[in-house]
Amino acid sequence: MQSKQSMHGSWANRWIFILAATGSAVGLGNIWKFPYITGENGGGAFVLVYLVCILLVGIPIMMGEILVGRRARQSPINAVRETAVEAGRDPRWGLIGWLGVLAGYIIFSFYSVVAGWVLHYIAGMGTGQFVDIGSDLAGKKFESLLASPDQMLIWHTVFVLMVVVVVAGGVNKGLERATKIMMPALFLLLLVLLGYSLNSGSFAEGWSFLFSFNPDALTWDAVLVALGHSFFTLSLGMGAIMAYGSYMGKKDSIGATVLTIGVLDTVVALVAGLAIFPIVFANQLDPGAGPGLMFITLPVAFGQMPGGQVFGFLFFLLVGVAAWTSAISLLEPATAWVVERFGFKRLHAAALLGFIIWLMGIASLLSFNHWADIKIFSMGIFDFLDFITANIMLPLSGLLIAVYAGWVLTQKMTRDELALGSSGAYSAWQFTIRFIAPVGVAVIFVVNLYDKLA
């Protein structure tokens, strides 16, 4: 196999790729969702199950996505089709690429609305609007944001522009440059917040909320949550990791790289939990769920703590950076495809796609106010888009990628691309991607769907 280069460029080195992929992986899933679902599902026991899922489902599928992307050196839509042709299979397998890119695109449209809230809170914290605010007032403030399409539209617009600017810059001058600045900033902010929490929070209480080993709290449901989250948190099933893989160096080890990304994503999730819960407990607040934890509970906590204004500002900055680097990876696959397919300049492709996402996002943000009565399968527009992507498109896409990498591509292709060194490691990968991962994902898929619709 000749060593091809992507027309879009390639990462300067292996670490840039690791950081870029980690930027995609680390997002609201780590900082907001993981700590909460861990606490609700048995703490330490849940963390253990989650780690097993990362290892047995997340890591093998991520390896599959990257090997396809790097083999073909093209956007996911073209990469899946081209590797299918190389394997002597039906080019219509390329529909998997479509499914992923479409899912990422839809996710971006509502992810941007939430990221807009985060930007709003960065500004609010920065200007001291949450000093000594009580729970009631904090709740009202969040409600009044949701009731105001104008406010949300401003921040949604700003966020889409931020992402378009980076993606328009291309792999080297856009994504890579952003990665180099934002990822160190993200790690630094996280450590600063952890230090603050160690000093001013109820650290022991936060620690035991997260890690106390309580096997009784671990239900079948919790296992499903862990499995689903392992998937979402690693940005799998939406072309993001496959697209980033297509810019990866030919000689870099996919196995070692993916392990590093998995470990970093997990560590960030755990550290985020250790930063958040001690603050919540120190202020006698409820660690309970939903958007409320981040947008109501935490502002109250920061508002009444010494230095809380500064650290609250830094916290939302952290979340904003994390959401930004994730959204970049959602726009990249579709942009790369438009460039390949229609020969657009990257700037034009990114701007056009960004504009469509911006319009779609407006439907999402109106579903919190003027369009609150519009229901699709009894869900508002925002909830519906969240539902069809997270519960249908992503699992389906992940399942198909596992089947594709494990069964459709030739062994020669996957062995050659993974270059795992030992045949034992290859066999282990092959066994997990052929049997364990597809069955695991199929189970979440069916149970989740049954749960939601029944």
Binding region for Na ion (CB under 5 A) out of 23-31, 86-94, 211-219, 355-363: 23-31
CA trace torsion 19, 25, 29, 31 (10° rounding): 0
Q: Quick one: 331 or 381, whose CB is closer to ligand PFF?
A: 331
Contact 397, 333 (CB under 8 A): no
> Residues with Cβ < 8 Å from 390, sequence gap 6 or more?
228, 232
Give how far the C-alpha of residue 380 lies from the chain's centroid of Cα atoms, to the nearest Å. Answer: 22
SS3 at position 89 = coil
Instruction: Count other C-beta atoms under 10 Å from residue 416's C-beta.
Output: 12
32, 75, 111 from 118: Cα distances, Å: 12, 30, 11
Determine the angle formed by the axes of helices 44-53 and 220-233, rounding to 10 degrees: 50
Position 357 contacts Na ion (CB under 5 A): no
Minimum CB separation from Na ion for residue 261, in Å? Answer: 10
Tokens of 44: 């330490």
Q: Which is nearer to ligand PFF, 118 or 362 (CB)?
A: 118
In the chain, the N- to C-terminal Cα span, in Å, equals 50
Of 30 and 391, the one with the shorter C-beta distance to Na ion is 30
Residues in contact with ligand PFF, counted by CB under 6 A, come to a total of: 16
CB of 259 to ligand PFF, least distance (A): 17
Cα–Cα dist 108/346, whole Å: 18
Site string for ligand PFF, 252-291 (x = CB under 6 A): ----------------------------------------
Task: In angstroms, give the least distance from the CB of 49 to ligand PFF.
Answer: 17
Backbone phi and psi for residue 123, each to the nearest 5 degrees, phi listed first: -65, -45
Stretch of 40-48, 230-238, 400-408, 429-437 contacting ligand PFF, by CB under 6 A: 230-238
59 binds Na ion (CB under 5 A): no
- Taking phi first (over 0 means left), then psi (-120 to 50 degrees means alpha), and beta for anything else, what does residue 237 get? left
CB 30 within 8 A of CB 265: yes
Phi and psi dihedrals of 398, rounded to 5?
-65, -40
By CB under 6 A, tell whether 30 contacts ligand PFF. yes
- For 275, 325, 400, the CA distances from 115, given in Å and listed in that order, are 20, 11, 29
Binder of residue 326, out of Na ion, ligand PFF, none (CB less than 5 to 8 A by kind): ligand PFF
**Is residue 26 within 8 Å of 240, Cβ to Cβ?**
no
Q: Which CB, 236 or 365, lies closer to ligand PFF? A: 236
Among 18, 20, 25, 275, binds Na ion (CB under 5 A): 25
Applying CB under 6 A, which part among 26-34, 146-154, 211-219, 334-342 lies near ligand PFF? 26-34
Note whether 157 and 362 are within 8 A (CB). no
Q: Which of 435-439's residues contact partners 24+ apart within 8 Å by CB, and which partners?
A: 436/56, 436/57, 436/60, 437/56, 437/57, 437/60, 437/61, 437/398, 437/402, 437/406, 438/399, 438/402, 438/403, 438/406
Task: Name the binder of 112 from Na ion, ligand PFF, none, CB < 5-8 A by kind.
Answer: none
Beta carbon nearer to ligand PFF, 200 or 233: 233
Region of 18-26, 94-102, 297-305, 401-409 interacting with Na ion (CB under 5 A): 18-26
Name the residue nearer to Na ion (CB basis): 21 or 138: 21
The mark string for 100-129 relative to ligand PFF (x by CB under 6 A, - otherwise) is: ----x--x----------------------
The answer to whether the beta carbons of residues 145 and 292 sit under 8 Å apart is no
**Minimum distance, C-beta of residue 45 to ligand PFF, in the bound complex (Å):** 21
Regarding 38 and contact with ligand PFF (CB under 6 A), the answer is no
The partner in contact with residue 37, picked from ligand PFF, Na ion, none with C-beta cut-offs of 5 to 8 angstroms by kind, is none
Instruction: Select from 22, 41, 257, 329 the one that contacts ligand PFF (CB under 6 A).
Output: 329
Tell which positions 218-257 bind Na ion, by CB under 5 A: 233
Site for ligand PFF in 62-101 (CB under 6 A): none
Using rule CB under 5 A, residue 266 touches Na ion: no
User: Per rule CB under 6 A, is residue 325 in the interface with ligand PFF?
Assistant: no
Nearer to Na ion, 25 or 298 (CB): 25
- Interface residue with ligand PFF among 24, 230, 309, 391 (CB under 6 A) is 24
Q: Binding of Na ion at residue 30 (CB under 5 A)?
A: yes
* Helix, coil or strand: residue 127: coil
The site for Na ion (CB under 5 A) is made up of 25, 29-30, 233, 265
The site for ligand PFF (CB under 6 A) is made up of 24-25, 27-30, 104, 107, 232-233, 235, 238, 240, 326, 329-330
